[in-house]
Structure 1
Amino acid sequence: MPAIAQSQHRSPHHEAYQGLWIPLVTPFNKQEAVDHGALQRLVARLRGAGVRGFVACGSTGEAALLEPQEQDAVLDTVYAAAGALPVMVGVSGPRPGPVAARMQELAKRFPVHAFLLPPPSYIRPSQQGLLNFFLQIADQAPAPLALYDVPSRTGVKIELQTLLQLAEHPRIQALKDCGGQLQATQTLINDGRLAVLAGDDHAIFPTLALGGAGAIAASAHLLTPAFVQLVAALAEERTETARRLWLVLTRLIGLCFAETNPAPVKALLARLDGLHNELRAPLHPASPELEQRLWEAYRQAEAQLAV
């Protein structure tokens, strides 16, 4: 089978987004206040495992349930613990002006690598509305934008032609791809202007095998070194190594999304890293049945990786 032709004009931004990024959970204590000590220890542990960088205040971090001052405090802790590793910051909202203003405020306090920006939730704008929304924000953004196509959360998909138009803007550099359309993913990778990151954990293998830049993977809070090795093997076209790792991790990845993220991941982190198994309402901890299945899958994968 002939190799898939890729763009000879891949953006230089591609390297800025390569590798494994962790969309951080936000630990809470029993009173549902942010547990900054647990967050600091988590970031330090992940940093030592060889990840490329972090995403803070994203959907995995329950950012929609944090007040702005709580988000700022989370970012203070993450940046202090991340050291030299880059941090992307999630920002969202229904209107371009306030979203851009929030970005400008954050960029004055933090060295933002990129802002992770989804479509406005609930509103379901047309594709022209999405185009206007993203371009208005990009024109005012103080740091690069990584768009977040996640129709399961926002109710609207950023269609391929819209993404190709948005790729023309110099501030729009990357895409967290949760669109679920592998052919569109391949087209964007081949186009070369956006750094495409797998946003659905189950799509890490095909996205990177097609030439994607990296992955933003919530399940990689767990067995992190194996995920780092997987992403590196795919980038280096060491297919057999990548396939072996993928087969070991697949069951755990699936269970991490059997109930609403980040409940399953937090359940295991409570066992492994000493975080409280707390989510902010209306989110709810994983069911005891799923927690047991997760623990069994984790121990099985851990044993296979040790062989």
Structure 2
Amino acid sequence: MQSASTSAPATPDLSGLWVPLVTPFREGAVDHAALGALVRRLAAEPIAGFVVCGSTGEAAALSDAEQGAVLATVARAAPGLRRVLGVCGHHLADTASRLHSLRGADLAGVLLPAPLYIRPSQAGLVDWFLQLADASPLPVIVYDIPYRTGSTLSRDSLLALAAHPRIVGIKDCGGDFGKTRALIADGRLQVLAGEDAQIFPTVAEGGCGAIAACAHVQTTRLAGVIALLREGRLPEARALWQPLLPLIEGLFEEPNPAPVKALLSARGEMADELRTPMTTAGVALKARLLALDQALSACPGA
């Protein structure tokens, strides 16, 4: 496969807090009014940008046309903030074509997971990412999330991918902190925590930030944790971080994004609606998340 261009795009600075946006629904359709309002609220917070149509956004349940419309709504609501688009597939030519179609798009990059369901060898995974990076007109962030894709990228595979000029970062949900440390020490990939509970150790070890579903709420506090850690101010970061842990744990007691949508619904920001086969979070969890969120908001500096 020929490269999409003769030179790599400029490497974006991915540091800070990225919000992987949920996709609000109402009566089965994308609720663009709620999405726009959510984006405008979050755009006023100290975030690096948005990840659009990722797993938290239920991208697998959105048609191509709906994904395009969601991206357009986000761009209109917060034109000054950077956007990364989730691109997922298991057919190489179709996925490459989708990447080609993004030429000229106003995006900081694409978030690209391993092909779903297939479970290739490490050599197959490396070839998959290299061919798609060749095809992409945009910087690529590897999405290492074995429990969704069925494939685990090894340390050696990720280090091999780091040599490609378009592969600039990783959303790290790999569950192997030794691998995380190795990637940070290598220094070629910008390492973003993808598991919310791992934000503190990842950034404290030298990761550049996080893509965190919990950042839909308590956004300023979470951004403050990351900023303090990057400044080496661990005691102050810990004081902000530790009160967040019960909320973060609750937000992942049921499959994401059901709990975060339940909390946003309880706050009056959208309907508590997901697309099949996702189901809404339980009533008791919803009430507990709202209480935790309100308690944190009452003591923002605690």
Both structures adopt the same fold (TM-score exceeding 0.5): yes
Answer whether contact 1:263 1:286 (CA < 8 A) is retained: yes
* 2:20 paired residue number: 23
Task: Please state how far the C-alpha of 1:302 moved relative to its aligned partner.
Answer: 2.2
Task: Please state how far the C-alpha of 1:273 moved relative to its aligned partner.
Answer: 4.3
Question: In the alignment, is residue 99 of structure 1 matched against residue 91 of structure 2?
Answer: no
Answer whether contact 2:14 2:190 (CA < 8 A) is retained: yes
Output the amino acid matched with 2:24: P
Answer whether contact 1:96 1:134 (CA < 8 A) is retained: no
SS across alignment from 2:35? helix
Normalising by structure 2, what TM-score?
A: 0.94
Task: Please state how far the C-alpha of 1:106 moved relative to its aligned partner.
Answer: 2.8
* 1:125 paired residue number: 120
Question: In the alignment, is residue 272 of structure 1 matched against residue 267 of structure 2?
Answer: yes
CA distance in 1, matches of 2:123, 2:62: 30
Task: Please state how far the C-alpha of 1:82 moved relative to its aligned partner.
Answer: 2.0
Question: How many corresponding residue pairs?
Answer: 293
Task: Please state how far the C-alpha of 1:300 moved relative to its aligned partner.
Answer: 2.4
Answer whether contact 1:42 1:273 (CA < 8 A) is retained: no
Answer whether contact 1:174 1:194 (CA < 8 A) is retained: yes
Question: In the alignment, is residue 180 of structure 1 matched against residue 164 of structure 2?
Answer: no
SS across alignment from 1:274? coil
Which of 25, 29, 50 does residue 54 from structure 1 map onto?
A: 50
Question: In the alignment, is residue 86 of structure 1 matched against residue 44 of structure 2?
Answer: no
Which of 283, 290, 299 does residue 295 from structure 1 map onto?
A: 290
Task: Please state how far the C-alpha of 1:301 moved relative to its aligned partner.
Answer: 2.1
Task: Please state how far the C-alpha of 1:262 moved relative to its aligned partner.
Answer: 0.4
Question: In the alignment, is residue 144 of structure 1 matched against residue 139 of structure 2?
Answer: yes
Residues 7-53 of structure 1, C-alpha deviations (whole Å, 9 max, x = no match):
xxxxx94x610000000000011x21001111111111001011110
Question: In the alignment, is residue 162 of structure 1 matched against residue 157 of structure 2?
Answer: yes
Output the amino acid matched with 2:230: A
SS across alignment from 2:299? helix
Task: Please state how far the C-alpha of 1:200 moved relative to its aligned partner.
Answer: 0.2
Question: In the alignment, is residue 209 of structure 1 matched against residue 204 of structure 2?
Answer: yes
Q: Which has the higher helix share?
A: 1
SS across alignment from 2:168? strand
Structure 1: tracts of 5 or more residues without a match: 1-11
> Share of identical aligned residues, percent?
49
Task: Please state how far the C-alpha of 1:253 moved relative to its aligned partner.
Answer: 0.4
Answer whether contact 1:178 1:200 (CA < 8 A) is retained: yes
Answer whether contact 2:85 2:107 (CA < 8 A) is retained: yes
Task: Please state how far the C-alpha of 1:288 moved relative to its aligned partner.
Answer: 0.8
Answer whether contact 2:266 2:286 (CA < 8 A) is retained: no
Residues 84-114 of structure 1, C-alpha deviations (whole Å, 9 max, x = no match):
2110000010122211110121334x31211
SS across alignment from 1:17? coil
SS across alignment from 2:182? helix
Q: Which moved more, 1:86-95 or 1:98-107?
A: 98-107
Answer whether contact 1:144 1:173 (CA < 8 A) is retained: yes
Answer whether contact 1:88 1:112 (CA < 8 A) is retained: yes
* 2:61 paired residue number: 65
SS across alignment from 2:25? coil
Q: Which moved more, 1:269-278 or 1:111-120?
A: 269-278
CA distance in 2, matches of 1:204, 1:227: 9
SS across alignment from 1:305? coil
* 1:36 paired residue number: 32
CA distance in 2, matches of 1:70, 1:247: 38
Task: Please state how far the C-alpha of 1:133 moved relative to its aligned partner.
Answer: 0.4
Q: Which moved more, 1:239-248 or 1:294-303?
A: 294-303
Output the amino acid matched with 1:198: A
Answer whether contact 1:248 1:305 (CA < 8 A) is retained: no
* 2:4 paired residue number: none
Q: Which moved more, 1:264-273 or 1:138-147?
A: 264-273
RMSD after superposition: 1.2
SS across alignment from 2:300? helix
CA distance in 2, matches of 1:274, 1:43: 11
Task: Please state how far the C-alpha of 1:306 moved relative to its aligned partner.
Answer: 5.2
Q: Which moved more, 1:168-177 or 1:225-234?
A: 225-234
